[in-house]
Chain A
């Protein structure tokens, strides 16, 4: 079946099987290999993308379920505050988990620019880093929330 999505701001279409996972369609039909297959079981968060503004594990979503939705992958977040923060804070080692973390942090900063500690914890528990860069990731997360807060303050001011 031929389906359409809005991916990183552009209308895209592909012929897929209803059994195809969003993760595989992004990687194989569109070459968006920033969505990483890890556990493929919903446990690690490496495959996280944004679907209609929410972080979603693309291994837990059929591509057909996401038809017509607005999908953002790491390729669509070049120079976003979350990406810059991860670079500035050295919040990665091998980098395999990084796209998933950045997508989640980006979505968090949009949904809860003033997120408290409990909200940050709850959202970030969805991603696992095997290299255990957690301390640096934490700093990157708070610097993004800080910058989101800065934007809001500037707008309000």
Chain B
């Protein structure tokens, strides 16, 4: 049971969502946007999240859009991870999303909700980082389309009252070889010890990670080290380890030493697969 009351709004357009937010914010109700609402429900139940009003984005057609055109693919933020996987529109995104939680939960968990999750993993963002996707964001000053590198730094940096509408990915990325490998500690359903995603672009292999540090990331310095093809893979990984944006995470799931070992082994396999 959720121990506090809130009002529920389900706007059917972007404009309506923005204006409902502004009105509720003006009334001091601290509204929150929801799409899958799984995290909101589980956090609210134990008092980790509280709000006087929630705005469910699932009724907005743009947030539910899934399109694969010749130049661009569009993924609405309120699409579920199961829908993305089943559509086969973009296998790197579908496969990475399919590693999150379990199938029944993925029938409800959404792309936007996972990327904006308060948890540290946000694995669905990895393919979006690898493909330099654009993010369509809506707020009181209108709708803007921004490169993900300008919005995502450890977490999605949205302005007050803004929400994610869509991610737009170049269609050429669809046919590039990729790897998406999630290493868990014990059971088949769990948060990652590390997740390594990689995409073999013409200029070199791109890499993005979750679980390694306390946030998901793609780093130019790490990528440069891993693409020093003149060096053996172990040496490149050693160099990359020295360039991580933050010391490796150590928590109840895995010590930093264990995480690093799993990361090195996984990365070795991925490099071998994508460089051959």
Asked whether B6 lies within 8 Å of A61 as measured between CB atoms, the reply is no
Asked whether A57 lies within 8 Å of B8 as measured between CB atoms, the reply is no
Asked whether A60 lies within 8 Å of B2 as measured between CB atoms, the reply is no
The listed residue with most A CB atoms (<10 A of its CB), out of B44, B107, B188, is B107
The CA-CA distance from A45 to B101 in the complex, in Å, is: 12
Residues of B contacting A55 in the complex (Cβ-Cβ under 8 angstroms): 103-104, 107
B5 partner, pick from A17, A62, A104, A126, beta carbons under 8 A? A17
Closest-CB distance, A114 to chain B (whole angstroms): 15
The CA-CA distance from A127 to B104 in the complex, in Å, is: 9
Residues of A contacting B38 in the complex (Cβ-Cβ under 8 angstroms): 42, 60
Residues of A contacting B105 in the complex (Cβ-Cβ under 8 angstroms): 42, 57, 60, 126
> Is A74 interfacial (CB 8 A cutoff)?
no
> Is A82 interfacial (CB 8 A cutoff)?
no
> Is B172 interfacial (CB 8 A cutoff)?
no
Closest-CB distance, B201 to chain A (whole angstroms): 29
Given contacts A21-B41, A122-B103, contact A60 B5 (CB under 8 A): no
Residues of A contacting B108 in the complex (Cβ-Cβ under 8 angstroms): 56-57, 60-61
Within 8 A of B (CB), among A1-51: 17-21, 24, 40-43, 45, 48
Closest-CB distance, A102 to chain B (whole angstroms): 13
Asked whether B104 lies within 8 Å of A57 as measured between CB atoms, the reply is yes
Residues of A contacting B58 in the complex (Cβ-Cβ under 8 angstroms): 65
A125 partner, pick from B7, B45, B54, B189, beta carbons under 8 A? B189
> Is A92 interfacial (CB 8 A cutoff)?
no
> Is A140 interfacial (CB 8 A cutoff)?
no
Residues of B contacting A40 in the complex (Cβ-Cβ under 8 angstroms): 45
Closest-CB distance, B104 to chain A (whole angstroms): 4
The CA-CA distance from A41 to B101 in the complex, in Å, is: 12
Given contacts A21-B2, A41-B42, A56-B108, contact A62 B37 (CB under 8 A): yes
The listed residue with most A CB atoms (<10 A of its CB), out of B1, B45, B98, is B1
Given contacts A17-B5, A18-B5, A18-B7, contact A104 B104 (CB under 8 A): yes
Residues of B contacting A57 in the complex (Cβ-Cβ under 8 angstroms): 104-105, 108
The CA-CA distance from A18 to B31 in the complex, in Å, is: 14
Contact with A along B180-219 (1 / 0, CB 8 A): 0000000011000000000000000000000000000000
> Is A96 interfacial (CB 8 A cutoff)?
no
Residues of A contacting B102 in the complex (Cβ-Cβ under 8 angstroms): 45, 125-126
Closest-CB distance, B33 to chain A (whole angstroms): 14
Using CB atoms, name the residue of chain A closest to B4.
A19
Asked whether A18 lies within 8 Å of B42 as measured between CB atoms, the reply is no
The CA-CA distance from A59 to B2 in the complex, in Å, is: 11
Given contacts A54-B107, A55-B107, A60-B41, contact A42 B101 (CB under 8 A): yes
> Is B134 interfacial (CB 8 A cutoff)?
no
Using CB atoms, name the residue of chain A closest to B107.
A54
The CA-CA distance from A48 to B104 in the complex, in Å, is: 8
> Is A64 interfacial (CB 8 A cutoff)?
yes
Asked whether A125 lies within 8 Å of B42 as measured between CB atoms, the reply is no
Contact with B along A74-104 (1 / 0, CB 8 A): 0000000000000000000000000000001
Using CB atoms, name the residue of chain A closest to B54.
A18
> Is B56 interfacial (CB 8 A cutoff)?
yes
The CA-CA distance from A42 to B75 in the complex, in Å, is: 25
The CA-CA distance from A20 to B107 in the complex, in Å, is: 20
What are 7 A-B interface contacts by the 8 Å CB criterion? A18-B7, A21-B2, A40-B45, A42-B101, A42-B105, A61-B37, A122-B98
A interface residues (Cβ-Cβ under 8 A, vs B): 17-21, 24, 40-43, 45, 48, 54-57, 59-62, 64-65, 104, 122-123, 125-127
B interface residues (Cβ-Cβ under 8 A, vs A): 1-2, 4-8, 37-38, 41-42, 44-45, 54, 56, 58, 82, 98, 101-105, 107-108, 188-189
Other A-B contacts than A18-B8, A60-B41, A62-B41, 13 sampled, CB-CB below 8 A, are: A19-B4, A19-B44, A41-B42, A42-B101, A45-B102, A48-B104, A56-B108, A57-B108, A60-B38, A60-B42, A62-B37, A64-B8, A104-B104
